Amino acid sequence: MLITATLLALASAAWGGSMYICREKSGAMNFTNAPTGANCRPYSLSQSGGFQATMGGGSTDSTTYDQDIRRIGRQYQVEPQLIKAIIQAESDFNHRAVSRRGALGLMQLMPDTARELHVVNPFNARENIDGGTRYLRQILDNFKGNLTLSLAAYNAGPGLVTRTGAVPEIPETQQYVTKVIRQYKEYKRQNGSDFLLVRE
């Protein structure tokens, strides 16, 4: 059972010890302070105060998920090049990536968001892309297709972007928006555009 990053942070600070993320035979992922075998990897506090870990078996081949990205993109009317640019920025195509805040998988879904999207296994690439793209579609609709605001909302949360009406003055979010748009344009330059559904 996944434990939220906040609880993990509090627990680790209280224990003063290391945390581990372990993969069971069933494929389920669990956090613990007592590793149970070779299927466990360190999940330690970063200097910024959050967690950061990457499980083995991830992929950094940018073409690995192209077929799923195209199919899911068409299903939810989101350009595959945009989905791919977000995946690159979020996880660099590692389907077992875990951020210091506890975001999971290719499109870095927070556990609560994954549950709301009915993503059972965030480390399953197809499930994660499907859930992340559905979430992105919701955000694009909420911000009337405005790509800049939608990307800011994907990174910093829709509530904050709605309240500010602009990209929040958060360096990480500003850099994220710039990075994704740049990569999105590059993918479109390389592969053309299947359809245009967003505006900057």
> Which has more confidence, 198 or 109?
109
**For residue 45, what are the domain limits?**
5-54
Cβ burial 13-23 (10 Å sphere, 16+ → b, else e) = eeeeeebbbbb
> Which has more confidence, 195 or 118?
118
Taking 70 as the threshold, does the pLDDT of residue 45 lie above it? no
Residues labelled as active-site residues? 90
Cβ burial 85-112 (10 Å sphere, 16+ → b, else e) = bbbbbbbebbbbbbbbbbbbbbbbbbbe
Residues in the chain: 200
**Same structural domain for residues 110 and 82?**
yes
Q: DSSP code of 25?
A: T
**Same structural domain for residues 85 and 48?**
no
**Same structural domain for residues 133 and 182?**
yes
**Residues 12/102, Cβ–Cβ less than 8 Å:** no
**Same structural domain for residues 94 and 178?**
yes
Kindly state whether residue 166 falls inside one of the protein's structural domains.
yes
**Same structural domain for residues 90 and 118?**
yes
Kindly state whether residue 123 falls inside one of the protein's structural domains.
yes
Taking 80 as the threshold, does the pLDDT of residue 185 lie above it? yes
Taking 80 as the threshold, does the pLDDT of residue 171 lie above it? yes
Q: Which amino acid is at 165?
A: G
Read off the pLDDT of residues 126-154 as tens digits, 9 standing for 90 and up.
Answer: 999 999 999 999 999 999 999 999 999 99
Task: Identify the pLDDT of residue 10.
Answer: 40
> What would the two tokens of residue 59 be?
């992929």
Identify the top-confidence range among 44-48, 55-59, 132-136. Answer: 132-136
Q: Which amino acid is at 123?
A: F
Number of folded domains in the chain? 2
Taking 80 as the threshold, does the pLDDT of residue 180 lie above it? yes
**Residues 146/199, Cβ–Cβ less than 8 Å:** yes
- Is the pTM higher than 0.85? no
Alpha helices in the chain (DSSP H): 5-15, 66-76, 80-91, 111-116, 125-142, 147-156, 158-164, 171-191
